[in-house]
């Protein structure tokens, strides 16, 4: 197999800059597809956290004016990743969250910042950097979506293009006034181009103008073609149905390995699953939860947003506590949810513990210590926390939507009899259905043999990048230009 060159374009990448699962995927994909004969480099904005870590960087391309100031493209390694970073201080030299200013609102120039990401991605696709001429450009989400759009409108030969939807809720919709700055042909401001509801739509353009579209699970691929879940892009996606494919994410099994994980109180494996309980005990102590290791421990590691459905858990929580359950929550986001869980912990500190914040290391202890991980999302393109839970032997309780439906096998009679169940699904995403799912979990918790079987099935299921990497590599080979 020859080495196929692919440029991945992403606005965040683990471990340098992360707000969610997109960063995990962008960070893990290059090593995963390398095993399939794909040489992937990733183009990212030169945020301070990226520039600071870039070792032995060389300048590969200068821009006299990239959306309002000079810029250069640096090439180098950071945290083991082969990166191109856009060093454009006027756009990216800002600390903290990559999208939001200190006031918690979107940076007012996000249209320019991420047009720059797309522009540079397209330029590299067109051969701007001699040492790396990609045959495929793979853009992630709206922030990178102009790369395939610029490539579509470029003259002469261009690489193949793919775009991955990690979350269709975020679309990059801006006023039409930005169009004049984008440097696209005048004809691009139409419904067949970048125009979207009278403004410009970055994701819309990427979906229309990429050769292929992927999203992060087959079920989400189907859901986003319906008016209920397509967030106004379902019609467009239906017209492109033949180009749409769902590829479930993996998790990095070196980052997530209970046998070697330094963040745990006790390392363990499927063969030594009994030792896992020491992590439960450590987690209960850390969260101030009382009653010992026989109390069923439910946990959550999540952004606190409407998508994640945690208001439903807040509603079901008194019932869960009344039946002896405990909750440990790690999360941040929506103020009302933060306050809701904080109040619940204050009212019943023996039964509810919460850490409001973002803590990568603690997330690992949560996965290793909990009996159950609750993911009551209203929609979930893929979801990674349930994959981590499976690998760590925490039984996922999930709403049967998107990637949650595709990755957890409900412990119904048939699956239990066949010995393949890995968790609990409930539907619809409502407090009542969740409460029923929690009741089923409590029942399973009273059956040690059954609990153990579910945990072991999860730990033995393949949540690695191997399968997904093969699917991405096949996609890249089908798209490569010039062909191999
Ligand atoms: P999303 O990207 O929609 O937030 P995912 O489940 O795909 O959801 O990915 C979330 C990622 O962020 C996972 O790696 C999860 O462990 C991590 N995460 C979310 N919230 C926290 C938190 N408060 N502390 C640590 N890690 C978190
Ligand atoms: C998005 C989705 C999440 C998915 C992640 C990585 O953040 O909300 O479901 O797992 O992207 O693809």
What does the alpha-carbon distance between residue 310 and residue 301 come to, in Å, rounded to a whole number? 11
Q: For 182-194, write each residue's pLDDT tens digit.
A: 999 999 999 999 9
Tokens representing residue 296 in the block: 């069923």
Using an 8 Å Cβ cutoff, are 250 and 279 in contact? no
At residue 58, the 3 state secondary structure works out as strand
What does the alpha-carbon distance between residue 419 and residue 75 come to, in Å, rounded to a whole number? 49
- Ligand sitting nearest the alpha carbon of 215: 2
Average pLDDT over every residue of 65-75: 98
For residue 348, report the phi and psi dihedrals to the nearest 5 degrees: -135, 70
User: Whole-model pTM?
Assistant: 0.97
Indicate which atom in ligand 1 lies nearest the CA of residue 14: 14
**372-375 β-sheet, strand order:** 352-356, 326-333, 297-304, 372-375, 395-399, 424-426
What does the alpha-carbon distance between residue 45 and residue 56 come to, in Å, rounded to a whole number? 17
Residue 277: the pLDDT is 98
For residue 410, report the phi and psi dihedrals to the nearest 5 degrees: -65, 140
Q: For 217-276, write each residue's pLDDT tens digit.
A: 999 999 999 999 999 999 999 999 999 999 999 999 999 999 999 999 999 999 999 999
Q: For 333-370, write each residue's pLDDT tens digit.
A: 999 999 999 999 999 999 999 999 999 999 999 999 99
Q: How far is the CA of 215 from the centre of ligand 2 (A)?
A: 9
Q: Does an H or E element contain 178, and which?
A: none
Residues in the chain: 484
Mutate to test the pocket of ligand 1, among 12, 14, 24, 468 (most ligand atoms within 8 A of CB): 24
Average pLDDT over every residue of 313-338: 98
For the cut 80, the answer to whether the pLDDT of residue 438 exceeds it is: yes
Average pLDDT over every residue of 461-481: 98
Q: In 88-135, which ranges are E strands?
A: none
End-to-end CA distance of the chain: 10
Burial readout 183-198 (b: 16 or more C-beta within 10 A, e: otherwise)? ebeeebbeeebbbbee
Which of 443, 336, 437, 460 lies closest to 377, judged by CA? 437
Q: How far is the CA of 169 from the centre of ligand 2 (A)?
A: 11
Q: In 231-371, which ranges are E strands?
A: 244-246, 297-304, 326-333, 352-356
Indicate which atom in ligand 2 lies nearest the CA of residue 380: 9
Tokens representing residue 160 in the block: 């193949």
For the cut 90, the answer to whether the pLDDT of residue 59 exceeds it is: yes
Report the alpha-carbon angle 232-236-238, nearest 5.
110
Burial (CB count within 10 angstroms: exposed 0-12, middle 13-18, buried 19+), residue 8: buried
Indicate which atom in ligand 2 lies nearest the CA of residue 164: 12
Residue 80: the pLDDT is 95
Q: For 34-53, write each residue's pLDDT tens digit.
A: 999 999 999 999 999 999 99
Walk me through the domains of the chain, giving residue ranges and CATH numbers.
4-250+466-479 (3.40.50.2000), 270-459 (3.40.50.2000)
Cis peptide before 482 (omega within 30 of 0): yes
Residue 371: the pLDDT is 98
Ligand 1 lined by 383 (C-beta under 6 Å): yes
Average pLDDT of every residue of the chain: 97
Average pLDDT over every residue of 316-322: 98
Ligand 1 lined by 384 (C-beta under 6 Å): yes
Beta-bridge partners for 6? 40, 136
Which of 408, 332, 475, 377 lies closest to 169, judged by CA? 377
Pocket of ligand 2 (CB under 6 A): 20-22, 25, 166-167, 216, 249, 380-384, 403
Mutate to test the pocket of ligand 2, among 23, 163, 216 (most ligand atoms within 8 A of CB): 216
Q: For 81-133, write each residue's pLDDT tens digit.
A: 999 999 999 999 999 999 999 999 999 999 999 999 999 999 999 999 999 99
Residue 2: the pLDDT is 60
Q: In 311-371, which ranges are E strands?
A: 326-333, 352-356
What does the alpha-carbon distance between residue 390 and residue 377 come to, in Å, rounded to a whole number? 17
Q: For 378-431, write each residue's pLDDT tens digit.
A: 999 999 999 999 999 999 999 999 999 999 999 999 999 999 999 999 999 999
Q: Which residues make Cβ contacts (< 8 Å) with residue 381, sequence separation at least 6?
A: 165, 166, 167, 168, 215, 216, 217, 220, 402, 403
């Amino acid at each position: 197999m020859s080495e196929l060159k692919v440029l991945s374009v992403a606005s965040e990448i683990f471990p340098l800059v992360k707000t969610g699962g997109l960063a995990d995927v962008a960070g893990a994909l290059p090593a995963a597809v390398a095993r399939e004969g794909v040489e992937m480099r990733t183009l990212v904005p030169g945020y301070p956290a990226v520039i600071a870590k870039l070792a032995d960087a060389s300048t590969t391309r200068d821009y006299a004016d990239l959306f309002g100031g000079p810029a250069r493209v640096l090439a180098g390694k950071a945290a083991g990743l082969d990166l191109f970073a856009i060093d454009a201080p006027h756009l990216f030299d800002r600390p903290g969250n990559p999208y939001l200013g200190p006031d918690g609102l979107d940076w007012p120039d996000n249209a320019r910042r991420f047009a720059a990401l797309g522009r540079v991605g397209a330029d590299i696709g067109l051969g701007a950097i001699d040492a790396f001429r990609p045959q495929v450009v793979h853009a992630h989400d709206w922030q990178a979506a102009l790369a395939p759009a610029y490539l579509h409108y470029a003259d002469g030969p261009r690489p193949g293009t793919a775009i991955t939807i990690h979350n269709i809720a975020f679309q990059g919709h801006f006023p039409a006034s930005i169009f004049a700055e984008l440097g696209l042909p005048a004809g691009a401001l139409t419904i067949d181009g970048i125009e979207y509801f009278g403004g410009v739509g970055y994701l819309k353009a990427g979906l229309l103008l990429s050769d292929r579209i992927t999203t992060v699970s087959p079920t989400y691929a189907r859901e986003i073609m319906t008016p209920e879940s397509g967030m106004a892009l379902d019609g467009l996606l239906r017209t492109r149905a033949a180009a749409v494919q769902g590829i479930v994410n993996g998790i990095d099994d070196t980052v997530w390995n209970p046998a070697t994980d330094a963040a745990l109180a006790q390392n363990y494996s499927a063969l030594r699953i009994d030792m896992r309980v020491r992590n439960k005990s450590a987690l209960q102590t850390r969260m101030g939860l009382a009653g010992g290791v026989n109390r069923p421990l439910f946990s959550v590691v999540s952004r606190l947003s409407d998508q994640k459905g945690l208001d439903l858990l807040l509603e079901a929580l008194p019932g869960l506590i009344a039946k002896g359950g405990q909750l440990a929550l790690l999360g941040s986001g929506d103020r009302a949810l933060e306050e809701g869980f904080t109040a619940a912990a204050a009212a019943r500190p023996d039964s509810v513990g919460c850490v409001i914040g973002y803590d990568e290391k603690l997330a690992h202890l949560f996965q290793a210590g909990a009996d159950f991980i609750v993911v009551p999302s209203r929609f979930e393109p893929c979801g990674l926390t349930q994959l981590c839970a499976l690998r760590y032997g925490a039984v996922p309780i999930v709403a049967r939507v998107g990637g949650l439906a595709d990755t957890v096998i409900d412990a119904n009679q048939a699956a239990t009899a066949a010995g393949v169940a890995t968790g609990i699904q409930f539907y619809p995403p409502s407090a009542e259905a969740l409460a029923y799912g929690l009741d089923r979990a409590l029942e399973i918790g009273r059956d040690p043999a059954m609990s153990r079987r579910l945990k072991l099935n999860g730990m033995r299921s393949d949540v690695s990048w191997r399968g997904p990497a093969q699917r991405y590599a096949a996609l890249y080979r089908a798209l490569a230009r010039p062909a191999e």
